[in-house]
Amino acid sequence: MTSPNHEPAIKFRNVSYQFDGGHELLRNLDLDIQLGETLVLLGRSGSGKTTTLKLINHLLVPTGGEIRVQGKSTVEWDVIRLRRSIGYAIQEVGLFPHFTVARNIGLVPQIEDWSSDRIQQRVEELMQLVGLDRQLASRNPGELSGGQRQRVGVARALAADPPILLMDEPFGALDPITRAELQREFQGLQQRLKKTVVFVTHDLREALMLGTRIALMEAGKLVVVLTPDEFLHSPEALVKAYVDAFGTDCKK
Amino acid sequence: MNVWHFVAQNHVEILELTLQHLWLVLASIFFAVLIGIPLGIFITRHPAWNKPVLGGANIIQTIPSLALFGFLLPAPWIGARADRLAILALTLYALLPLIRNTYTGITGVDRAVVEAGRGMGMTDRQLLFQVELPLALSVIIAGIRVAAVISVGLATIAAAIGAGGLGEYIFRGLAMVNNQVILAGAIPAALLAILADVSLGWLEKRLSQAK
pLDDT at A251 exceeding the cut of 80: no
The pLDDT value recorded for residue A219 is 92
Query: Which segment of A100-109, A208-217, A221-230, B202-211 scores lowest on mean pLDDT?
Result: B202-211
CB pair distance less than 8 Å for B135 and A83: no
pLDDT at A244 exceeding the cut of 70: yes
Q: What is the ipTM of this complex?
A: 0.90
Planar angle of CA B142, B147, B148, nearest 5 degrees: 95
pLDDT at A23 exceeding the cut of 90: no
CB pair distance less than 8 Å for A96 and B113: yes
Would you kindly state where each structural domain of chain A is located, as residue ranges?
A: 1-77+196-252
- What are B123-162's pLDDT values in tens digits? 999 999 999 999 999 999 999 999 999 999 999 988 888 8
Q: Does B124 touch chain A (CB under 8 A)?
A: no
The pLDDT value recorded for residue B211 is 55
d(CA A40, CA B109): 31
Amino acid at B179: N
Identify the CA nearest to B167 among candidates B182, B180, B178: B182
Residue B75: C-alpha distances to residues B70, B95, B158, B161 (Å): 10, 20, 16, 14
- What are A27-48's pLDDT values in tens digits? 999 999 999 999 999 999 889 9
pLDDT at A4 exceeding the cut of 60: no
The pLDDT value recorded for residue A1 is 47
pLDDT at B27 exceeding the cut of 80: yes
Mean pLDDT, residues A146-163 taken together: 95
Mean pLDDT of chain A: 92
Q: Where are the beta strands (DSSP E) in B46-147?
A: none
> Confidence class of residue A164 from pLDDT cuts 50, 70 and 90?
very high
- What are B85-113's pLDDT values in tens digits? 899 999 999 999 999 999 999 999 999 99
Q: How many residues are given for chain B?
A: 211
- Is 3.40.50.300 the CATH number for A1-77+196-252? yes
Q: Choose from B2-16, B56-70, B116-130 the range with maximum mean pLDDT.
A: B116-130
The pLDDT value recorded for residue A5 is 59
- Calculate what percentage of chain B has a pLDDT beyond 70: 98
> Confidence class of residue A246 from pLDDT cuts 50, 70 and 90?
confident
d(CA A21, CA A19): 5
Backbone angles phi, psi at B142, to 5 degrees: -60, -40
- Helix (H) / strand (E) containing B148: helix B133-154
pLDDT at B46 exceeding the cut of 90: yes
- Helix (H) / strand (E) containing B80: none
Contact A64, A29 (CB under 8 A): no
Planar angle of CA B117, B123, B124, nearest 5 degrees: 90
Q: Does B127 touch chain A (CB under 8 A)?
A: no
The pLDDT value recorded for residue B1 is 60
- Calculate what percentage of chain A has a pLDDT beyond 90: 84
Q: Cβ contacts of residue B65 below 8 Å, gap of 6+?
A: B89, B93, B154, B157
Query: Which segment of A65-69, A141-145, B62-66 scores lowest on mean pLDDT?
Result: B62-66
Count other Cβ atoms within 10 Å, centred on residue A228: 19
Least Cα separation, residue A60 to chain B (angstroms): 10
CB pair distance less than 8 Å for B116 and A95: yes
d(CA B208, CA A212): 45
Chain B residue whose CA is closest to A53:
B119
- A72-73: strand order across its sheet: A24-33, A10-18, A64-69, A72-73
What sections of chain A are H helices per DSSP? Answer: 49-56, 79-84, 101-105, 107-111, 116-129, 146-158, 176-193, 204-210, 228-233, 237-246
Among chain A, residues having any CB pair with chain B shorter than 8 Å are 57, 59, 79-88, 90, 92-98, 107-108, 111, 142, 153, 156-157, 166
CB pairs under 8 A between A and B: 65
pLDDT at A113 exceeding the cut of 80: yes
The pLDDT value recorded for residue A37 is 95
pLDDT at A252 exceeding the cut of 50: no
pLDDT at A127 exceeding the cut of 50: yes
pLDDT at A178 exceeding the cut of 70: yes
- Helices B82-107 and B50-62, packing angle to 10 deg: 140
The pLDDT value recorded for residue B158 is 87
CB pair distance less than 8 Å for A94 and B112: yes
- A38-43: strand order across its sheet: A86-90, A164-168, A196-201, A38-43, A213-218, A221-226
Q: How many residues are given for chain A?
A: 252
CB pair distance less than 8 Å for B115 and A59: yes
Identify the CA nearest to A219 among candidates A90, A61, A63, A51: A51
pLDDT at A20 exceeding the cut of 90: no
CB pair distance less than 8 Å for B112 and A82: no
- Residues of chain B positioned with their CB less than 8 A from the CB of A81: 121
Report the residue from B114, B116, B122 with minimal CB separation from A111. B122
CB pair distance less than 8 Å for A88 and B114: no
